[in-house]
Structures are given as structure tokens and as C-alpha cells.
Amino acid sequence: MEPEVRVEGLLARVGSFTLSVGRLSLRGPGLAVVEGDNGSGKTVLVKSILGLVKPSRGRVYLCGLDVTGKPGVAGRCASYMPQNAPLMAAHYPLTPLELLEYSMRLRGHSFNRDEALRLLAELGLPGEDLARPMAELAPGERQKVFAARALLAPSKVVFLDEPFSAMDREGREALARMLLREARRRLVVLVAHSPEGLAGEVNARVRVEGGRVTAAW
């Protein structure tokens, strides 16, 4: 059976940084963790898999689809929580619920408002914050909204890039519980320095060092 994530001979460049991956495959359901030091290339790896960084060589397959450099195709299989949640600063007001609704509508899914509210409440985002523009939320609150967006999508693979970095303790614990729950039914790929109490639950680990995937087990 085709693994959810398959990478073959990937070479991707971002500025002067080069990422090189020989072979990598991840199969779900389960929890996979991408580890590595700062600047080792973890985010570039995830973005290359999602087609957001176009590789100069190699192929990437998600759910059996060739998604190399094609984010619009990758999005059919995967959802994504970025490391630096876009600030959505003062340029235009956008509420958390609008963000979730529009993300679902763009993908052709109906928006389940109750489910969205339940996810946000579980992450510890109070109802009164949902009427405020994203730019007014604290960084940790914004991370909760982006985590909810990634989990709300009915994708087969969920990528979360450093999801715990700005969250408060309650938020981190709640997200960890939710990721474990999700990992029972789909592949959850977590980029994290310390996977927040999930170490014993990890099914696969990918080690990235100096722009190379050095180990995957």
C-alpha cells in the first residue's frame, strides 16, 4: 500500500540554503516527528513536501499523488499549520472564525461552525476572542487558531510546524491530547524540538541535520 508521504531524491534550494533528501516515506495513521536543530532545514523539508518550496530535483508523493512543486494538489491530501502564523497585521481585519470558514470553503468543504467552536474551545480560545481580528490576538492565540484550521480540514495528513512554540501550558497540553487522538485515524507530522509529552507516543522520527535527512525510523 502506498505510504501517505513519499519523497525520492529531493533537492530544494531556498536562498543559499540547500536541502537534500535521499528517500523518505511515512505511513499513517500515526504520529511522526521531524527533529533537528535551528536552521537544519525542518521547515524547508515540510514546505518542499507540500510544494510551497519548488524542488530543483526529485519527486514528492502525497497519498499517491505526484505533488512535486504543486501545492494545489498537495492540499487535497494534507493540511498545514505554519511555524510563523502569518501575522495578518493591520492590512485587513479577519476574525478567527472567518479564517476557518474561508479555508474550508476554498477547499470545497462545508464549514461546520459548531465543530470549529468546539476545537477552539478545547484549545482554550474563549468565545469572546473569536470576534476579534486575528491581528489583535496574542501569538499563542493565533497559533491555536492555525492549529484548529489544520485539524478541522478532513485531510489524510496533517503537518504542524512548531505548533507549541508560543502557546501557554494549557494550550500545549490540549493540543498534545488532540494530536494523539488525531494520530489514531490519520498521519500527523509534527515538527518540534521537544514534542511536549508525546515522546513515548511517536511512531516515526525523521532527523534533519545541516540540510540533510540523516535518519528516519
Partner 1 sequence: MRAQLLLLALGAGGLAFTAVYSPVWALAFTGLALLYGSSGVYVASRRLYYLVAVAPHSSLMAIGLTPLAALAAPGVPGEVLTGLLGFLPIALALTLISRGAPEALVASWLTALTASLGVLSVALTASMGLEAPLAEALAGDPLLITAREALAIAGIGLLAMLLVARFYWVYAYSGADPEDYALAGYKLSKLAEAGGVLMVVASTAGMVWYTGFVVQHILLLIPPLIAVKAARSVREAMTTVYSASIASSGAGLAVSILLDLPPSGMIGVVAALIYIILALAYKGRLEGSEESYIH
Which stretches of the chain bind partner 1, using CB under 8 A? Answer: 50-52, 71-76, 78-80, 82, 86, 88, 90-95, 98-99, 102-103, 105-107, 131-139, 149
- Given a contact cutoff of 8 angstroms between Cβ atoms, the answer to whether 37 and 209 are in contact is yes
C-beta of 79 vs 143, nearer to partner 1:
79
Q: How far is the CB of 174 from partner 1 (least distance, A)?
A: 18
φ and ψ of 34, to 5 deg: -100, 120
Q: Which three cell numbers stand for residue 213?
A: 535527512
Nearer to partner 1, 54 or 184 (CB): 54
39: left (phi over 0), alpha (psi -120 to 50) or beta: left
Residue 77 or residue 176: which is nearer to partner 1 going by CB?
A: 77
How many Å apart are CA 137 and CA 153, to the nearest integer? 22
CA distance 35 to 31: 13
126 or 200: whose CB is closer to partner 1? 126
Q: How far is the CB of 215 from partner 1 (least distance, A)?
A: 28
- C-alpha cell, 148: 484548529
Given the complex with partner 1, which of 146 and 198 has the nearer CB atom? 146
Measured from the CB atom, the residue of 134 and 151 that comes closer to partner 1 is 134
State the Cα–Cα distance between residues 180 and 155, nearest whole angstrom.
Answer: 16
Question: What is the smallest separation between the CB atom of 182 and partner 1, expressed in angstroms?
Answer: 18
Closest contact distance (angstroms) between CB of 65 and partner 1 is 11
Calpha distance 32→202 (Å, rounded) = 6
Instruction: Give the H/E segment covering residue 191.
Output: strand 187-191
Report the nearest approach of partner 1 to the CB of residue 90 (Å): 6
**Shortest reach from residue 165's CB to partner 1, in Å:** 16
d(CA 213, CA 126): 40
Of 184, 213, 179, the closest CA to residue 196 belongs to 179
